[in-house]
Structure 1
Amino acid sequence: MAYKDEKLNEEKVFKDPVHRYVHIRDRVIWDLVGAPEFQRLRRIKQLGTSYLTFHGAEHSRFNHSLGVYEIVRRIIHNFEDRPNWDPNERLLCLCAALLHDLGHGPFSHSFEKVFKLDHEDFTQEILLGDTKINAILSKVENGFPKKVADVINKTYHNKLVVSLISSQIDADRMDYLQRDAYFTGVSYGHFDMERILRVMRPMEDQVVIKESGMHAVEDYIMSRYQMYWQVYFHPVTRSAEVILSKILHRAKELHETGYEFSLKPTHFLSFFKEKPTLKEYLELDEAVAMYYFQIWINEQDPILSDLCERFVNRRLFKYIEFNPNLQMNEWMELYRLFNKAGLNPDYYLVVDSSSDLPYDFYRPGEEEERLPIHLLMPNQELKELSRQSEIVESISGKKRTDHKLYFPLDRLEEMSNRSKTKKRILEILYG
């Protein structure tokens, strides 16, 4: 029997708190799960620094990847024998779903910004490079790793396949919303996924939703909206991310100026140069990063030491609402006053902005073209979701942005009460 058709002697299952069970029967999928590049995802948290806000948010990219695979497996099962569905794409969809987050690094987004990396580039490298994952995919058929890479990169010719893991209603989002809600303990991320899966229909270039399932989709869109503002953009989580990114910036700056670390930061050296090899990238997970942060608490550099102690022991920055576009004069005065107070404003005075577009209709030519969600009407006509739903229309195309200013209030409070600098800083911050 060809490797791509090989089944396990009996079905393997992973017990899952969100989907109850994740079912695996294909030998290819089972082998991929066992590959070291996939097992590494156990050591990368799904929600980065959110565990410092929601203590239950310790789940990993490994959990999530299995969940996305399971949702796609169920969708494909429902698509069997339907027009527009090509059963030959089944294994490709399952592999792409399982491996879509393969390239995420430690504390994903903060890391990427500081070291100018893109996890999607590393996903492609793992799929196409000299890895166990590539060796497994290559056994399926010639060119199969490239097909999987193309689906994840959204360049595969069959757009229906791409839309299963990358669209405005896809398996990726459906899993992380429910999984993140479960592990953070909030109620916002829950919606009727079973209903959505039942009303999904394959069309030539995307998945569409039967009009009778519109209310379940409204619920999904609103849960996404709430999760972004209540969980993903939570100001305490953002405070932790600010400190994390400043730790990485400081370590990089110290290295560039010839600073002698008490322990050579071997795992970071290629990142400081912004040119890690795939092997070096895969060797730096969150456990390794946290080891360095704990070591750096005892470094001679007071900024690196203080920032690491704050991150490890959760002594985070305080924050206020602050729009730099409208408060530039105050920002410039604060910057000068922080310098005067001996607090390096490059590390201790940080504006952080978050923005999200919960749902958008099709806008050709934009940087990220979002394929809208289409409803399949009883007469087989397609209608764009926000044209039928008043709820979705009310938030469509509306980008919400939130600005915060982060600073170490404890350090300000330690200053003498007679200090005019302290008095003026607190006056600007708190009025």
Structure 2
Amino acid sequence: MKTGNRKLQEEKVFKDPVHRYIHVRDELIWDLIGTKEFQRLRRIRQLGTTFLTFHGAEHTRFNHSLGVYEIMRRIIEVFEGKPYWQHEERLLCLSAALLHDIGHGPFSHSFEKVFQTDHEWWTRKIITGDTEVHHVLTRMGKDFPQKVADVIEKTYPNKLVVSMISSQIDADRMDYLQRDAFYTGVSYGHFDMERILRVMRPREDQVVIKNTGMHAVEDYIMSRYQMYWQVYFHPVTRSAEVILSKILQRVKHLQASGYSFKQPPLHFQGFFDKKLSLDDYLQLDESVTLFYFQMWQKEDDATLSDLCQRFMNRHLFKYVEFDQHFVMNEWLKLQELFRKAGMDPEYYLVIDSSSDLPYDFYRPGEEDEERMPIHLLTPDKKLRELSRESDIVEAISGKKRTDHKLYYPKEWLDTPGYENEKQQIKDILQVHDGKTDTKQ
């Protein structure tokens, strides 16, 4: 049995469209990449349903995890020999960067919401349970897998190490912003990462930025803001996400009511029973999920069949934008009209809200490293919070933007039958009708 870590006889490289090359020199990292749990990430898209909006967004969590590892490797190269950095933490940081997303399931956020599961919990199970990943990690000592899990869970005692993978400016965010921008084809997510890496410095409990790099960080903050509203919260993507969630919700309901499936949801049984084993969880990926969606198009249940056809063939819901007064004044009436017209509002009338804090202050009393502010290191070695030095960041700092949209099957309103009710629905929605087309 192997113990410890060795340098590979020859460096391994992955050709990468974002970082050009990803370099692997440690046997430990190379063997982790080869585990079946890590290879499973090839079958899980990084951006879930976004491929239905931006057709290039087919990249996976495998791509992203390698990218986070590469950025972490380069940060460590900058930190070596500097105060506060401990060289013995190097492999811990690289392992945590590589494995930080290993617990994600197919279309993970929708699954988590419907089935009350948590990818971070599964990440810990994969790292500390009876898995190939765990057996590779234990070469570095029996406590090493738990240390890796603690870094990802943000409970590891050395907060500098935690901040390198989970903070306002970390290896994870710096990879996914650039990678998602590249694969979606948008221009918003690009920033000067080379400059940011050169001006990063380790401190006792966090990564800080030399004040000479402030403008590169401003660019990063604005890129993040633009990516959220132009890509992550794109209304077409949200429409696909809504339908995906409703498919899972319908399957869960049918299973509980004793419905006889033509294609029984065998791979979902553990979610229904709340007795999902780690092995069962690892068997479920997006190719398996899409197989079920494909087959469920032929189910006798009209709602499940219709929702699956919509998802598989991209016949998505349209939307109107609205404010909170709409919910108070017209929501119940609209639901009742849908019922009268023979359309279940539980599945075909859905409110979706998106919100983001582009740069969130640390709030006293909240122990959350992700809200730790970015600090600039001045020439006299003092720390200054970024928004106090940058007018650009100060302008958007802590400001929460929220969009409320109502999704519904617009084409159904023009079909024969229930004309009176459908006209009333149109009249209500027309008042709130902003941009409603779900084509790009």
> Taking structure 1 as the reference length, what is the TM-score of the superposition?
0.98
1: distance between equivalents of 2:332 and 2:142? 59
1:426 matched residue in structure 2: 426
Q: Which residue does 2:249 correspond to in 1?
A: 249
Cα displacement (A) at 1:7: 1.1
Distance in 1 of aligned mates of 2:233 and 2:3: 44
1:56 maps to which residue?
A: 56
Partner of 1:206: 206
Alpha-carbon RMSD across the aligned residues, in angstroms, is 1.3
Give me the whole-angstrom Cα distance separating, in 2, the residues matched to 1:173 and 1:213.
18
Matched residue type, 1:70: E
Which amino acid letter does the alignment assign opposite residue 398 of structure 2? G
Matches of 1:293 and 1:123, distance apart in 2: 26
Q: Hey, what does 1:387 align to over in structure 2? A: 388
1:399 partnered with 2:400: yes
Amino acid at match of 2:213: G
1:273 aligns with 2:273: yes
Partner of 1:183 in structure 2?
183
Shift in alpha-carbon separation, 1:266–1:2, aligned structure 2, 3 A = closer
The AA in structure 1 aligned to 2:298 is N
Partner Cα distance (2:241, 2:274) in 1: 20
Tell me how far apart the structure 2 counterparts of residues 361 and 410 of structure 1 sit (CA, whole Å).
44
In the TM superposition, residue 362 of structure 1 has moved relative to its aligned partner by: 1.6
Cα distance in 1 for residues equivalent to 2:130 and 2:166? 26
Please state if 1:371 is matched with 2:395. no
Q: Equivalent residue for 2:436?
A: none
1:415 deviates by 3.1
Measured after TM superposition, the shift of residue 2 of structure 1 is: 7.9
Deviation at 1:324, TM superposition (A): 4.2
Check 1:80–1:366 CA distance in 2 against 1; reply closer, same or farther (3 A cut): closer
Q: Secondary structure at the match of 1:263?
A: coil
C-alpha displacement of 1:14:
0.3
Task: In structure 1, give the amino acid aligned to 2:376.
Answer: L
Query: Hey, what's the Cα distance between the residues in 1 that align with 2:427 and 2:325?
Result: 20
Q: Deviations over 1:175-202 (max 9, x none)?
A: 0000000000000000000000000000
Deviation at 1:326, TM superposition (A): 4.3
Once the two structures are superposed, residues 232-265 of structure 1 have per-residue CA deviations (whole angstroms, 9 ceiling, x without a partner) of 0000000000000000000000000000001221
Between the aligned partners of 2:125 and 2:216, the Cα distance in structure 1 is 37
Does the 8 Å CA contact 1:350/1:405 hold for their aligned counterparts?
A: yes
Shift of 1:275: 3.5
Deviation at 1:367, TM superposition (A): 7.3
Q: Which residue of 1 aligns with 2:95?
A: 95
Offset of 1:3 from its aligned partner? 3.8
Deviates more, 1:174-183 or 1:362-371: 362-371
1:304 is aligned with what amino acid? L
SS in 2 for 1:355: strand
Aligned to 2:13: 13
Q: Counterparts of 1:198-347 in structure 2 under 5 Å?
A: 198-324=198-324, 326-347=326-347
CA distance in 2, matches of 1:329, 1:388: 45
State the SS of the aligned residue for 2:4. Answer: helix
Residue 205 of structure 1 aligns to a residue whose secondary structure is coil
Structure 1 partner of 2:411: 410
Equivalent position amino acid for 1:147 in 2:
K
Could you report, residue by residue, the CA deviation over 1:298-356 in whole angstroms, capped at 9, with x for unpaired residues?
A: 00000000000000000000000023454322111110000001000000000000111
Question: Aligned pair in 2 of structure 1 residues 325, 157: CA closer, same or farther (>3 Å)?
Answer: farther
- The normalised TM-score by structure 2 is 0.96
Amino acid of the residue matched to residue 278 of structure 1?
Answer: L
Is the 8 Å Cα contact of residues 79 and 201 (structure 2) preserved in structure 1? Answer: yes
Is the Cα–Cα contact under 8 Å of residues 5 and 139 in structure 2 kept in the other structure?
no
Contact 1:116-1:274 within 8 A present in 2 as well = no
Q: 1:178 to 1:361 in 2, by over 3 A?
A: same
What code does the residue aligned with 2:320 have?
I
Q: Is the 8 A contact 1:3 1:28 kept in 2?
A: no
Report matched runs for 1:32-181 at 5 Å: 32-181=32-181
Q: CA deviation at 1:108?
A: 1.0
Query: What SS does the corresponding residue of 1:410 show, helix, strand or coil?
Result: helix
In the TM superposition, residue 364 of structure 1 has moved relative to its aligned partner by 1.7
Task: Count residues in correspondence.
Answer: 430
Shift, 1:49, TM fit: 0.1
Describe the SS at the equivalent of 2:263.
Answer: coil
How far apart, in 1, do the equivalents of 2:323 and 2:273 lie? 33
Distance of 2:155 and 2:367 partners within structure 1: 15
Q: Return the alpha-carbon distance in structure 2 between the equivalents of residues 7 and 355 of structure 1.
A: 45
Give me the whole-angstrom Cα distance separating, in 2, the residues matched to 1:419 and 1:22. 60
How far apart, in 1, do the equivalents of 2:257 and 2:240 lie? 26
C-alpha distance in structure 2 between counterparts of 1:45 and 1:351, whole Å? 25
Verify the 8 A CA contact 1:324 1:331 in the aligned structure 2: no
CA distance in 1, matches of 2:242, 2:325: 19
Percentage of pairs with the same residue: 69
Distance in 1 separating the partners of 2:178 and 2:277: 34
1-structure distance, mates of 2:237, 2:134: 35
Q: Report the AA paired with residue 88 of structure 1.
A: E
CA displacement 1:245-302 (0-9 Å, x = unmatched): 0000000000000000012211011112343111111101000000000000000000
Greater mean alpha carbon deviation, residues 352-361 or residues 51-60: 352-361
In 1, Cα distance between equivalents of 2:425 and 2:278: 46
